Structure 1
């Protein structure tokens, strides 16, 4: 009966049946590829305006092209930036992200090549008696005069290989996506450098501003101390009363309290700057006279299209958009059939003593596997929809990055214009308030002004000087922010 069963099996698996089966498989594969969804048309990117709204002229010079050493003409600041570029932890982290992205590129390149592994395999097989293999083994000699054993050992050493043929460019698109993300990580590192240069500069000028504020407060304390001593003498001479002494002393104590607050602010500013430099708190040597950084009358900002090539965050966003586009192609290729070739070459035997008996133990195989998704298409469709949504999100993110960059430049240009006007007005105001101190003092000595007018003059002069420094600091910050907004600092 077993023999008849084997003969029937042979008639069923004749060449015509195999051809029919293979043709059916190809038809199913072709049918699965006919229902591949189309890539949705994405929204067009808004064009960048030809000029900035605060700048009618199209400047050919763009400060973003200047190296930060040229833009910040301060050797002390340049030394701090150098230290930050070497030790800042955020920047060091960005370098590691680049290495991870580079590893992703190498991994994607490996998918395009066959995998070859060397090794060995051992096993033990027992075929059922009422099977084709079991029935054949029961009547076959494995060696002369010895039948195939029921428990058949299987030993193999050699090479095994597998290779997916990239018919639909799925693997090449994966590689291109990995390359785009690697380049985006490089631009991300450049954007970290841009922000780091700006942050160190901002912290540096913040520290210089605090130093100058401290000098003004200490000068004011000296003036108030002298006024306090005078009013005490006048009280003894009955030319003033106790209320005036108390008011002058209270004002002096308030200024001394402000001095302590500034000392604390200086400590915190130094610590923050040291953090940017990647080191523990330590004194920062500096020249406070460098605070009066010359603000150029005109700053070249080029045209808005320059931002697309100068700002690393815009280029990184563009590269991420390119990566998501190839991701959609990869997800779409999953609907098509895949062809995987597997093969092996080595030595195979049922006993170690025959393993190296060549050519009898030589074994090899080559198998092609063509498969197309049919049942699990819903999962593939979900991945494709997710890839398309990620592409649209990347497009919106790219557009938003450009829009934010344009607005940032506009804001800083307007800020610089208004701060110049404010600085001129504050300079004139401070000069008047400073002169009012001596004027009120003279009038008070001659009895033509009250002590309250003297106190008010001193208080207004102090506030005016602090406001002037604050305006100067804001000008410096606006210059730094404009440099950052235009994409300077990373070159």
Structure 2
């Protein structure tokens, strides 16, 4: 028995470190295909990384800072992600523990009496090692690597949810502020059109304005009333959406101002671009860890074709007298026994498991490549939007000024009896449309900054400091 145990242990030492998992190699074709298209829209003058900017520095207005802080503290999706991390960490510890032998303390007492009246007592106490698998072919270690990479993937998923939540909370607040500003504009337009209607009504009573002028003024008034009701509803829906994201019962304590320029101050985003910028995004790292887990699972499936050797052992005392259990020199005993299991026939189960593991790896490769493609598209879209939104905002601002001048001129010409009321209505509609478009473009430009901050991995710097 000693000889067998010695041979087994020697074999274990010789085979230790043997792994049947394929060597990991990061897929690189998608990176090379997409990187040039992203760099076309990146300014060479830009320096630094968005991922290095804490969100408290990026969101410079106290209102946005409070919104993001509240969301990070209360959002249910983020809490679920954190719990999933704890769960996968525990599962990894379970698999990792299998690399070490399990030792238990045990004690027994037995009393027997045969039909002849003879009695016998047996007492034992000691340590026992249940079947401990010698991981000759890396099965247990690969399963541990699967659990480790699943844990790391879940941690990256939590980071990805954090980044998305920061952007989601900021965009929800921007939408609310934008609609509040448009609601204020609608109310001002309603008041203006009400004054215009009274002016036309007075002119009609004096025989200056026509019945058609009065009808057109009434249409403009009711149209403004419809817009006011519409944006009143949108503001309430925006508040409900923000409450859900923040995970609070209401928006009490959240500063709200119907002015995007004052309540949504943000820093400019430096776009220091290299392939490593995107490869370090949490969603891409999550896909990569999942790919590594699939590779380790292949190693575990391959190991199932090879023998499994386990050791059982015990060390303790055994005596027929409880008083002599620990004092008698003859009571000590130990044992060590190996066991071997060789797969001979299982109906093709091991082959099917290996095939499934290889297919899982292929799926993980495809998912990794798709995640990369999505990341490149997100960055390219955000950069392209940044290039045009600034110029569009300048042009829209000039359009608002021109529309205001046209409205003032048409109203003056109408009151002087030079022009028809129809020109006033057209100028009113153009002015309101240009003003609402300007507000929406301002929101889009700010949302683009948030999007660029998100797709470049910004938002984790504060979290890293908080956890360190």
TM-score (norm 2): 0.84
Does the alignment pair 1:107 with 2:94?
yes
Report how far residue 63 of structure 1 moved: 2.4
- CA 1:456/1:75 → structure 2, altered by over 3 Å: closer, same or farther? same
List per-residue Cα deviations over 1:176-225 (Å, max 9, x = no partner). Answer: 23222222222111111111111111111111111211121111111101
Which runs of no fewer than 5 residues in structure 1 stay unpaired? Answer: 1-18, 20-35, 126-141
Q: How many residues were matched structurally?
A: 439
Counterpart residue number, 2:134: 165
Contact 2:24 2:292 in 1 (8 A): no
Report how far residue 152 of structure 1 moved: 9.8
- CA 1:58/1:314 → structure 2, altered by over 3 Å: closer, same or farther? farther
List per-residue Cα deviations over 1:39-59 (Å, max 9, x = no partner). Answer: 599894313426622136374
List per-residue Cα deviations over 1:60-89 (Å, max 9, x = no partner). Answer: 322232111111111111112111111111
- CA 1:346/1:299 → structure 2, altered by over 3 Å: closer, same or farther? closer
Q: 2-side partners of 1:259 and 1:479: how far apart? A: 29
Counterpart residue number, 1:286: 256
Contact 1:209 1:291 in 2 (8 A): no
Report how far residue 230 of structure 1 moved: 0.6
Q: 2-side partners of 1:238 and 1:427: how far apart? A: 39
Q: 2-side partners of 1:152 and 1:317: how far apart? A: 64
Q: 1-side partners of 2:248 and 2:318: how far apart? A: 63
Contact 1:244 1:451 in 2 (8 A): yes
- CA 1:167/1:102 → structure 2, altered by over 3 Å: closer, same or farther? same
- Alignment match of 2:305 (pick from 326, 332, 335): 335
Counterpart residue number, 2:42: 55
Q: 2-side partners of 1:171 and 1:405: how far apart? A: 35
- CA 1:411/1:347 → structure 2, altered by over 3 Å: closer, same or farther? same
Does the alignment pair 1:218 with 2:201?
no
Report how far residue 280 of structure 1 moved: 1.0
Matches within 5 A, 1:84-483: 84-119=71-106, 158-162=126-130, 163-283=132-252, 284-291=254-261, 299-346=269-316, 358=328, 364-376=334-346, 378-483=348-453
Report how far residue 405 of structure 1 moved: 0.8
Report how far residue 333 of structure 1 moved: 1.3
List per-residue Cα deviations over 1:358-377 (Å, max 9, x = no partner). Answer: 56665543221011111127
Q: 2-side partners of 1:329 and 1:210: how far apart? A: 56
- CA 1:57/1:73 → structure 2, altered by over 3 Å: closer, same or farther? same
Counterpart residue number, 1:66: 53
Report the RMSD for the aligned CA atoms in angstroms: 3.3
Bigger radius of gyration among the two:
1
Does the alignment pair 1:78 with 2:71?
no
Report how far residue 294 of structure 1 moved: 6.5
Q: Which moved more, 1:460-469 or 1:364-373?
A: 364-373
Q: 1-side partners of 2:152 and 2:61: how far apart? A: 33
Q: Secondary structure at the match of 2:314?
A: strand
Q: 2-side partners of 1:327 and 1:277: how far apart? A: 39
Q: Secondary structure at the match of 1:113?
A: coil
Report how far residue 231 of structure 1 moved: 0.9
- Alignment match of 2:28 (pick from 45, 48, 52): 45
Q: Secondary structure at the match of 1:344?
A: strand
Which runs of no fewer than 5 residues in structure 2 stay unpaired? Answer: 5-18, 462-468
Report how far residue 411 of structure 1 moved: 0.7
Contact 2:52 2:458 in 1 (8 A): yes
TM-score (norm 1): 0.80
Report how far residue 484 of structure 1 moved: 0.7
Contact 1:64 1:310 in 2 (8 A): no
Q: 2-side partners of 1:359 and 1:236: how far apart? A: 125
Q: Which moved more, 1:276-285 or 1:351-360?
A: 351-360
Contact 2:269 2:453 in 1 (8 A): no
Q: Secondary structure at the match of 2:83?
A: helix
